């Protein structure tokens, strides 16, 4: 902590003034929270990491408008309520008990595509908290357009998504 010093005219020195300014700003952020000062912008905030989606050797292949998922390798997707985000395909996939659904992961509010959560058959875009059902319909704004659904089919252990 800087020492309290004053110049000849009795004013606080620069180092003390800077310390007080930073301490005041920190107190305001602690009191209101950093989200109080954010606005709707194109940036994407930090959010909890989604389940693993893409990468070599993970059983996911993206080729043009087709995504193939080896359910033997991506076995975590086999349970009802399981989901994943495939970043390189901008696709959300969920097991809804009676089968699989796939939607675009590009939010219709501000085009965020990497910050999603899924719970109780609802996808939430963590950028601005828009909520969508498993058909892509808007449940809560600020988004006012649905997410685009993609067709899915399963053959053996391979889930195919056609965009």
d(CA 35, CA 24): 17
Rg (the chain; Cα; Å): 23
Per-residue pLDDT reduced to its tens digit, 134-160:
999 999 888 889 999 999 999 999 999
Same domain, 73 and 117: yes
Mean model confidence pLDDT for the chain: 75
Cβ atoms of 92 and 99 closer than 8 Å: no
Count of the separate structural domains present in the chain: 2
Residue 45 domain-assigned (yes or no): no
Per-residue pLDDT reduced to its tens digit, 95-117:
998 899 999 988 888 877 677 88
Residue 111 domain-assigned (yes or no): yes
Cβ atoms of 123 and 51 closer than 8 Å: no
pTM (two decimals): 0.63
Short-list 6, 105, 99, 95, CA closest to 50: 105
Short-list 15, 106, 96, 91, CA closest to 54: 91
Residue 50 domain-assigned (yes or no): no
Section 124-137 average pLDDT = 91
Instruction: Give the range of the structural domain holding residue 33, as residue numbers without chain letter.
Output: 1-37
Find all residues with CB under 8 Å of 34, minimum gap 6, and list them.
none
Per-residue pLDDT reduced to its tens digit, 9-37:
555 555 655 655 665 555 544 544 443 33
d(CA 115, CA 137): 18
CATH at residue 101: 2.102.10.10
Compute φ and ψ for 16, nearest 5 degrees. Answer: -70, -40
């Amino acid at each position: 902590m800087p020492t309290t010093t004053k110049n000849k005219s009795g004013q606080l020195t620069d180092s003390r003034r800077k310390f007080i300014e930073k301490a005041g700003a920190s107190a305001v952020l602690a009191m209101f929270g950093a989200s109080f000062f954010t606005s709707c912008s194109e940036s994407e905030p930090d959010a909890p990491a989604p389940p693993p989606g893409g990468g070599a050797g993970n059983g996911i292949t993206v080729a043009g408008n087709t995504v193939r998922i080896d359910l033997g390798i991506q076995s975590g997707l086999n349970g009802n309520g399981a989901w994943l985000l495939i970043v390189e395909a901008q696709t959300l996939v969920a097991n809804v008990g009676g089968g699989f659904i796939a939607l675009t992961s590009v939010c219709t509010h501000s085009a965020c595509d990497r910050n999603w959560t899924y719970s109780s058959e609802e996808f939430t875009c963590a950028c601005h908290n828009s909520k969508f059902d498993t058909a892509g319909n808007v449940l809560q704004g600020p988004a006012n357009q649905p997410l685009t659904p993609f067709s899915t089919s399963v053959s053996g252990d391979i889930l195919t998504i056609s965009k």
